[in-house]
Structure 1
């Protein structure tokens, strides 16, 4: 078999990577697209760290990572011609950007008589593999999807290659300098660190069902950035969790797949409401938006979550729910403001999960009860009863003991006067979860 150009995208790993399956001579390629460079300084740093780690892994196998800069399709086809490649492989993805890239690759490969192979690997189950009865394109409700997903046979894992041999004369290119992110305490990217984190998490995973909403304990895996970039295999994580009986965690991984199949059918999820009837009545208040973004709303649990986001490029799953509900249900601001702000800061920010969850909370998405609301004070008392999480991220409140820290309006009076809040103590239901492993 001849040369294969393997275009890495969001599968930056050596283990369980179907890009390597069935090929003798592999040319691993990553193309830095300047059009994506300005979306998030945090994710750009994580990406460049992951690329450096991937190059080291490939060199350990006798190969290397070829780095190009420019249009991914143009650079891929150029490298295929340079190496005489017979095949191009790329992981299937669901965003509008990925699908346009895939269509262009298919057209260019056909014109140059090069085989294009679309591989799985971004999700546990490929987005189009599980479909509802009656000819529907995607499941709109999670529970029936979860039942079908659970009954589906998962693909077999792909062993890491024992050796990679590049064709002679391939210029590998230089890795970009790792840029500065905006969050000083952001996690470091790469398969090596991701696999280390996964190993540590599997020793604690049995407690996930009880601890994943505990804000001060932080009983979550923190694997989401590594899943987003494919530094760990979603399939390998799901298999490891299932083998340990951690069904609550497996369910969260299914939620991740659920949103991928939603976006596969509805690619405009970041800008258009999935449920148009719920996309009404948003108000526009620049002060309210700015105070929410800055973590200066005067509601301590909300401000703690928003400050964690800036400090770490990550936010606890329960805090994501609280802060998103506060923006949309209490302040009445458009969910797209939240989509954009989270997407700027989150290491794990991706279109399906970030936008899908924001629409779920706002009542424009896949929630079967779109009018449910959340009381941030009750949420705080339930999931941070002694105020440990709040004091960790809001130093102004460190002198306040216990649950008293959760009382609102402890910030300067001008902050409160600038906002027209509904009553934060209004009774709301308390049933949703911001789904994030």
Structure 2
């Protein structure tokens, strides 16, 4: 094969990239391409993405190639670049969102029209969506996590691939201009495969062993790999491969299995971000004032407010706090989960459609939770997982001087902290 265009989307790495590895092994020339689509480039994730692209270009240059950067419609740009470089194929990693699948269908049709080979490769998940199905029920996907986890754990995963040794561009390819990097990037993590692999190395050596006992501690450290997994800076298969069998590894790998679980649900139910997965007899109420207080971290419930302020300040939130803030919005305030999904999607650097939608529907009782009426009591959760109030004090400085026995209890500080609101629920949080 003379030349292949490899279209990058959410797989911004050179290690364990099946499409790139196969192209380098079977084609004389490889044209890596990323298309900046202004229609979907969210402001809060832009800084991270741009850093990813700079790092990816550096990695490809080190292999002897480059990253072609274009603007506009990915389908049109991929076909155009294939024609300009004499490529006979366009390859990409398979994804599951409605947007990605529409793009894949359009790209397949355009490649057929222009007599180009189009292939999709794994790489976004550990086990490809649709590969595992519950045989006895006849369903196309698993609706409950535990049996999926058992099937997933018993499945042989594809081997992890190294980075290509060499990559050759066709002559005369215009690489295009990379977007500028901001002086003060948004969020607490910096984009790119190099940084993602550094964090993964550090986590495996220094954090994984204590993960099982520390993972719900809100003020504690976590792997902070979610954004790198979302943008494909690190391969989920490599993360699982390196964590499995180590102390703390099983619990951590289980969380990565949850990621695959949500992807296989969305693969079969692409409306996950718009429609209830399970019908539930609930009438969501409209309360703009309460919703605004929740978004701004001014509900008067310290653990909820701490989480919502962390989200705006850092573009990230501890997973346990995501569940608490989501449960508070949907179960305590009775506000539609789609409002929470939209807000998280606006601010999270790791905002992933499948996981964000799956988790929001889980806490709302419309998703894959087998106990749909479960409510996470924010006071009990705070006292259990932030016992000394370190997390709350970090993000709600108005409460920093309160003693440990008061920092989490909204009704006991009513009117006692200037500038901090009283919770409208008050003592109801003890129930």
With normalisation by structure 1, the TM-score equals 0.93
| TM-superposed deviation, 1:175 | 0.3
* Residues 27 and 166 in structure 1, CA contact (< 8 A), matched pair in contact too: yes
Please, which moves more after superposition, 308-317 or 405-414? 405-414
1:25-424 maps to which residues of 2 (within 5 A)? 25-37=29-41, 39=42, 41-133=43-135, 134-178=137-181, 183=186, 185-203=187-205, 204-218=207-221, 220-245=222-247, 246-278=249-281, 280-409=282-411, 410=413, 421=425, 424=428
Q: Within 1, Cα distance between the matches of 2:366 and 2:334?
A: 13
Root-mean-square deviation over aligned CA pairs: 1.7
SS of the equivalent of 1:406 reads coil
Counterpart of 1:431? none
Question: Secondary structure of the equivalent of 2:118?
Answer: strand
Contact 2:341 2:357 in 1 (8 A): yes
How far residue 178 of structure 1 moved from its aligned partner, in angstroms, is 3.0
Aligned to 1:433: none
Alpha-carbon contact 1:91-1:119 (below 8 Å) kept: yes
Does structure 1 retain, via aligned residues, the 8 Å contact 2:266–2:272? yes
Contact 2:60 2:167 in 1 (8 A): yes
How many corresponding residue pairs? Answer: 421
Taking the aligned partners of 2:18 and 2:130, their CA distance within structure 1 comes to 17
Q: Please give the TM-score of this superposition, normalised by the length of structure 2.
A: 0.94
CA distance in 2, matches of 1:373, 1:98: 33
Residue segments in structure 2 that go unaligned for 5+ positions in a row: none
Q: For 1:346 and 1:281, how far apart are their aligned partners in 2?
A: 27
Distance in 2 (alpha carbons) for counterparts of 1:205 and 1:158: 23
Distance 1:150 1:227 in 2: 20
**CA deviation map 1:231-273 (0-9, x unaligned):** 0000000011103151000100000000000000011111111
Q: 1:411 to 1:290 in 2, by over 3 A?
A: farther
Write the deviation string for residues 157-202 of structure 1: whole angstroms up to 9, x where unpaired. Answer: 222111111000111100012358884x431100010000000100
3-state DSSP class of the match of 1:268? helix
CA contact (8 A) 1:339 1:354 kept: yes
Q: 1:412 to 1:166 in 2, by over 3 A?
A: farther
